[in-house]
Structures are given as C-alpha cells and as structure tokens.
Structure 1
Amino acid sequence: MHVLFVAPHFPSYQRHFVRAMHSVGAKVTGIGEASPVYLDSELKSWLHGYEQVPSVCDEQAMLEAVRRVQRREWVDRLESTIEAHILPVAAVREACKIPGLSVEAAVLCRDKPQMKEHLRRHGIPCAASDGIASVDEAIAFVRAVGYPIIIKPRAGAGASGTTRCDNDGQLAAALKEAGVAQGQSVAIEEFIEGHEGFYDTMSVDGVPVMEFVSHYYPNVLDAMRNRWISPYIVSTNRLDASGYDALKELGRRVITTMGLGTTATHMEWFYGPKGLKFSEIGARPPGVGQWDVYAAGNDIDIYREWANAVVFGRIERRPSRRFASGIIALRPDRDGRIVGYEGVEEIQRRFGEYVTKAHLPPAGTPTQPIEAGYMANAWIQMRHPDYDAMREIFEVIARTIRVRAG
C-alpha cells in the first residue's frame, strides 16, 4: 500500500506514524512544509518520497502535490493526524478520489455548532448550542438557555479560546474579545456541570478496534485558567467495568452517526446532574502525549496498531489494560525563566518505579503560558496497576513538586 502522510517532520511525534507505516510494509510519501534538507536520515529512511508545499493547509498547493505523486504512481491513502489539517486534507482527498474521511465528516468534526446540531438530530445528548455572529444573537441564546454559558471558536481544539460567562458583563467582554461585533462567527454553548473526560478509539470502517477512556482532574477550563493547579489526566484500566457501558455505547453511536470510517477519534464528554453528555469529537488522535500514555499503560506500540488499521483494516495486538496511566502538568509559579525545582527528589524516591517519561526543563529555560497546555512546561507521565493509586500519586506530586521561575 502507498500512503501519503501529511506533515511527517513536525511536531516531532509525527515521525512515529511514518515509522509505524514503514514497519508494517507500507510505502510512505510525506507531504510537508519543511525543506527536504531538514529531514533527518532516520526519517528519510522510512520515506518512499517527499513533496514540499508552502503550507499543508493550502488546499491548492496540497492538491497539486498529491496529483504530482498520482501521476508517478498509485496512491491508496492520504492521511493526516493534526486537527488543523483534517479539513483541507479531506477536500484534497475527495478531489483526488482517494478513500478516507469525507469532507462532510471533516466539516462536522471541525465546526462545533454544526456538529452538535447534527448529533441532536440523531438523538445524541448534547449541551444546547448555536453558532452566532452578532451580539443580539448571543443575547437571544442566553435569554433562552440562561447562564452560565461558554463562548469558543467554531473550530477550536481543547479549551483554546474558550471563555465561561456568568453574567451580561462577562458576555459582553467575551464577545468583544472574540470579534463578534465585527461579524466574527463563534460557538455559544450551555455550560454543563459535571466531571469531564474523553473517549478515544482507533476505528476501522466506523467500528472501534481499540478503545480508551480518560478522566480530567480538574476539568479542562479550570485547569487552563489557574496557575496554582497541577492538572492531571488518568486513563483507566477498568474499561470493562459496567459503569463505562453507557459511555462506550454513546461514543460508538457518535462515530457511526458522524461517518468516521477508518480513523483515530478523540471524543470529549461530561457526566453530571444532567446525565451523560457529548461535548465534541475530532477525527484524529488525542493531544498532550496521550497516545504515549496509552502505549505505556497497555503494552502496545500504538502507532504500529494505527498503521495496521490504516494499511490492513485490522490490528495485531489488543490493549493489555495492565496499568492505569496518565500525565501531570507542573506549572511554573510565574512567567519568566525556570530557576529550579523543589520536591523532585522526594517524588523520585517514593514513586520513581512508576514513571515512564518526564520532562523537567533545565534552569534558564523560558516558561510558556499555562494556556499552552499540559506539556507546555514540565510534566511527568506514569503508570500504575491500580487506578485509584495512580490518582493518589498524582495528588501527592501536585502537593510536593514546585517549579520556580524568575
């Protein structure tokens, strides 16, 4: 099989998709923005070919690149794994008659108001939501639904650009910040109280062949707005427990209803006083290094299983569920440059056997804003046979390690 893969060079984890496809016997041609001279020898050894384009989000440039390859040889698949690339790649895929995620499905995954409207029509429980392009439309929505509400980009990812509003003053400020008065269209949604997590799959022809469930502590909006919090994510190894049956059934219905075929998926959900609610879904792997967390917790090369699914329509190995696994973000106490750490030696002494990866930037490293995500500054990935013990270890780490900046 000949697979075109978008952006094999950056971010750095993209190379693992190329490695995995090469390892299962596929020919891989990369399409990316980097000059070929910047591709290292190892990455080049996995590539069958490479096409440089000015931007992988430029549909015309991508279309021309794909057609150049098609004039030389047959192309079986065109794959992308980054949120911003999904829609332009789907458009090129359709124009070049290559199987894979459709433009219709890609639009639904990217445009949150359309996504929720589509799923509500199919009986999927979602928060009340709409797309708005004026202050009057926002006020009408609030009068119908009530506070609190959230404002966010129609095609955002995670909590990026998301603002909670509890009153008219906060709403006015959020709308101004989002450019609504100038005609910018944004998503507006009912704020759902409850616990937040995500359901991830590798699906083949719309049927999950690998499933994972993870939990946020605390919820994302709180985690991304408060520096003092050391937020963490834990992926459960109790997926067969009956309490997850409704979530798995919901996730599978969403994948089928959205027409998501053979692809990785990442679906956010809430559970609270109003029951289980769908939040949003992407036709891509999760971010924040979560696939590496799954690999460590389940004794698999998850990139290779993704490649097996894409190339052969099946996987070789099932997740073992031996460990709960997760990541904790460690925030600098202020913006500036890293000065040093407190408590790391104690955590290493007590829990070092459970650490799978860690990133502790050295003194002098510039800090990143906390809004940049769980892997923006220091972080630790871990695994433990017991889910509750994994949570408690992360709580101890959050109380113990301090990242000092100046």
Structure 2
Amino acid sequence: MKPAGEATEEAAGEAMAAGGTGAAGADRAAGTVLVVGSGTQEYREYLLRSAALRADLWLLDDAAPTWQAPHLTGWTEADPGDPHSLIRAARAVVDVRKVRGVLCHEEALILPAARLAEALDVPGPSLTAVRNCRDKHRTRALLRDAGLPQPRHAVVADLAEAAAAAEWIGYPVVVKPRGLGAGRGVALVRSAAELRELFAEARAAHWPGVPTYRVGILVEEYLDGPEISVDGVVHAGRYTPLFLARRLSRKEGALSPYFEETGHLVSADDPLLDDPALRWVLDKTHRVLGVNDAMTHTQVRLTARGFVVVEVNGRLGGDLVPYLGFLATGIDPGLVAVDVALRVPPRLTPVLTRTAGIRFLHPQEPCRVEHVTVPQADATKGLLRVVALAAPGDERGLPPLGHLQRYAYVLCEAGTPAECAARLDAAADQVRLKAGPLSVAPDERAAS
C-alpha cells in the first residue's frame, strides 16, 4: 500500500481510469447492463464513468442523456419509476442486445429496478431484499426476530397511537416515515409537547416513487452514541464491508431536531472495519434481510449495548460517501457495482491508505441566495474540491419545508481523521454565503 496522504484526487482518478483496485485495466464484460435512472451529475457521475469501463451501459430514463451520454452505449425513453414502462423499454433492448444485468443507484428507483431484473430473469436488485430494506417496520421485525439488537419501536397510524407508543418507549423518541430514505421526515421528539407537530411533519413527508403505507410512521427509541455508515458488497451470499464513514457531528441550531447530514469522514484503516462484532452484525443483518449479490449502505449506532443497525439501503450510499471511500482506499465502487450486477467476483483489494471527508454547508435560516463565494481547491493542502451548490436567485430552506438544501460543500483528504476534519473546518470557514430573505415566508408558502 502507498503511505497515507501520498496520493491526491488526481492520482486516485488515474487509478479509476486504469480500472481501480490496482488493476492494469478494467476487463470489459460481454453484453449490456441496463441502468435505471442516473441521479444527478454532481453526486453520481463518478459511478457511471467507472461502470462504463467494465460494461456497455444502456440507460432507461425519462429524458435524453446529457452529461450521461459519454458513458453510455445507448438509451431508451421510459418512466424509471414505472416497472411496466421499464419492462417494455427493456424488452426492446433485449431484442437487439445481450442484456446481462440491471444496475440502479437511486433510492426512489431501486424497487422498480428490482421488478425489472425479476421480469427479465437477469442479475440485479433482489425484489425480496429491496422490500425488506425499504419497509423499515419489516426491517425492524426481521432483525428483532433474528436476535439482533433493535430499538424499542412501534408502527402507528395516527397521533393517538404515536403518543401511546412514545409513552411506552419513553422520551426522547424518533419519528420516521416507514418507507422514505435520506432522513426525510425523520425527527427527534424530546417531549409530548413536541410530538403533535413533528408527527404531522413525518406523515406529510414524501418522495416521488417511494411507497407509502396506511400505517406509515415508526416511533422508535432514540439510540444514543456515535453514528457510522458502511457501504458494503454481497457477492454469492458473502458480505464484505468496503467503506466505513464516521458522521461529522451535528451542531445544535438550524437543523435541530432533524437528522440532516452535515458531513462524513472515511478512513481506509478505520479499526472498526476489522471489528469482529460489527462484522458479525453486518453479515447476519444482510443474511436475515435476504440480500444476495448487491451493494448496500447500512447505518449503524455504536450504543452502550453494542452495534445497533438503524437501517439498510439496498443501494450505494449518497452524499459522495462511496467516492470518499474510493479516495481513501482506491477501491472503485463503480467497478464493484458492475461486477455485482453481473455476479462476477469483485476486486476489493485496497491500494491506498488515507482519510477523505466532506462537509456540507446549510443556511442558518431560509433565504434567497445572492452569491456563494468559495476558495480555490488546493490539492497540495488537501483541499480537493469546493463546490457551490446554489446560484444567484436560488432559494434554500430548512427542514421540514426544505430537505438537503445545501449551498456548498468542501471535500478534503489527509493522512489522519483529525487532520482531515481540521482541513474541512478550515475550508468551510472560507466559504461565504450572501443571501436575503425569501419573497414568501416559509409558513405562508406551506399554507399555499
């Protein structure tokens, strides 16, 4: 392995272009992989770019490709959230090409993608596993019945049931929608006085294409302790953790009491990656949920009673966490994802040993952006990226009315987690947001 901190993002990019994980070149697979949706360029292009090194990619989406085009063999128009539309479009591709698998990185599309893979009888997301992961009540029940530690919880249909559950569990509790992801509608409720408003917000939360349930809200015991997430791979039933991200602590303020992500640190040599107790919990969790030949993103709390799985997402993590993992280890998640979709053994040998991190910047109050000023990236000082996510005139809100309303992020690397965290803080301090009030107040906007 190379010494910590020796490589830069440019060097890691060269490793990606060469096939990653120390390969001299990416061996191309015969046949075509169908890609269901593609997400946004900022957060998902790195995966598509790498995947194209391993296989011919054919996009199924509802708009003609733009930034995706250089990475594709072709595309077919389809509603990615509609399994019937996907199946019709895919069968037209099957008539002219050898389709070997289905690939999807998007939370809202992973269930239709699983139905497509089943209909075509090709490798892809497992319908059973996706359902077990997507339905958080089902996840809790399966893990609890398997003897894995889980928070006390109840699934409820209305405020009265939520209040009774909270009294039984004991405050503080967490309310969360049963089928959503990325923290939408999730809030910490500290008292009965807060429950009415936060429960109503959880019920109102939604995301296009994501299932809802009549009895659709979970009330859960609040798990105290550090948060981590693990992006891992299951091949032929064997689970291997790849990247372990430590959540940067959330500061009390504008985002409280919501669980909005503010940043992550990924270290190639994080000791938890080799912790036998964590590995046992992760392996058993994936076996219980029926995950086989997939990449997943698992959220875990390090509690006084041990590792407790919060949830499992049936796709790679967001927030560029897998990219941080690539920068830290040299393992290319885009290549691994294609290998998994084709059910061939993925190459999982690290070639780097360092730490990479990202910090997201949120406004202190809802605003209309006038200008975001960012410093120049400087790889020699470990500042690899500084990206403004808001343009003049854009509006930025806060939960519950605005979700993931970031105006910038900074991405750094260093030899140690402490050094990387310090670089992130220093870079974030150099970002300047000039903004004014919204033309319509958030409460008036909600009322309309």
TM-score, normalization: structure 2?
Answer: 0.78
Question: Hey, what's the Cα distance between the residues in 1 that align with 2:390 and 2:341?
Answer: 39
Q: Determine what percentage of the aligned residue pairs are the same residue.
A: 20
Selected match of 2:289 from 255, 258, 271 = 258
- 1:283 paired with 2:283, answer no
The one of the two structures with greater contact order (alpha-carbon pairs below 8 A, sep at least 6) is: 2
Question: Hey, what's the Cα distance between the residues in 2 that align with 1:9 and 1:116?
Answer: 28
Distance 1:298 1:387, change over 3 A: same
Is this contact kept in 2: 1:230–1:330, CA < 8 A?
A: no
Is this contact kept in 2: 1:332–1:404, CA < 8 A?
A: no
RMSD: 3.2
Greater share of residues in helix: 1
SS of structure 1 residue aligned to 2:92: helix
Question: Hey, what's the Cα distance between the residues in 1 that align with 2:272 and 2:203?
Answer: 45
Is this contact kept in 1: 2:226–2:301, CA < 8 A?
A: yes
Selected match of 2:369 from 337, 345, 352 = 337
Offset, 1:232 = 2.8
Counterpart in the other structure of 1:388: 418
Distance 1:138 1:361, change over 3 A: closer
Counterpart in the other structure of 2:267: 236
CA offsets 1:68-103 (integer angstroms, 9 cap, x no match):
333444422122110111112212322332233322
1:103-142 to 2 correspondence within 5 Å?
A: 103-142=127-166
SS of structure 1 residue aligned to 2:309: strand
Return 5+ residue gaps in structure 1 as ranges.
Answer: none
1:358-377 to 2 correspondence within 5 Å?
A: 358-360=386-388, 364=392, 366-371=394-399, 376-377=406-407
Selected match of 1:50 from 55, 75, 87 = 75
SS of structure 2 residue aligned to 1:337: strand
Count of equivalent residues? 394
Counterpart in the other structure of 1:27: 56
CA offsets 1:283-314 (integer angstroms, 9 cap, x no match):
11111111221222223433223323433622
Is this contact kept in 2: 1:178–1:184, CA < 8 A?
A: no
Mean Cα displacement is larger for which, 307-316 or 294-303? Answer: 307-316
Q: What is the identity, as a one-letter code, of the residue corresponding to 2:130?
A: A
Distance 1:8 1:296, change over 3 A: same
Question: Hey, what's the Cα distance between the residues in 2 that align with 1:97 and 1:148?
Answer: 46
Q: What is the identity, as a one-letter code, of the residue corresponding to 1:283?
A: G
Question: Hey, what's the Cα distance between the residues in 2 that align with 1:363 and 1:404?
Answer: 11
Distance 1:147 1:98, change over 3 A: same
Counterpart in the other structure of 2:189: 165
Offset, 1:267 = 0.5
Question: Hey, what's the Cα distance between the residues in 2 that align with 1:102 and 1:205?
Answer: 13
Mean Cα displacement is larger for which, 262-271 or 390-399? Answer: 390-399
Return 5+ residue gaps in structure 2 as ranges.
Answer: 1-30, 205-212, 437-448
Is this contact kept in 2: 1:33–1:56, CA < 8 A?
A: yes
Selected match of 1:353 from 381, 385, 389 = 381
Distance 1:237 1:382, change over 3 A: same
Is this contact kept in 2: 1:267–1:279, CA < 8 A?
A: yes
Question: Hey, what's the Cα distance between the residues in 1 that align with 2:359 and 2:75?
Answer: 36
Q: What is the identity, as a one-letter code, of the residue corresponding to 1:2?
A: T
Is this contact kept in 1: 2:179–2:216, CA < 8 A?
A: no
Offset, 1:384 = 0.6
TM-score, normalization: structure 1?
Answer: 0.85
Question: Hey, what's the Cα distance between the residues in 1 that align with 2:359 and 2:292?
Answer: 32
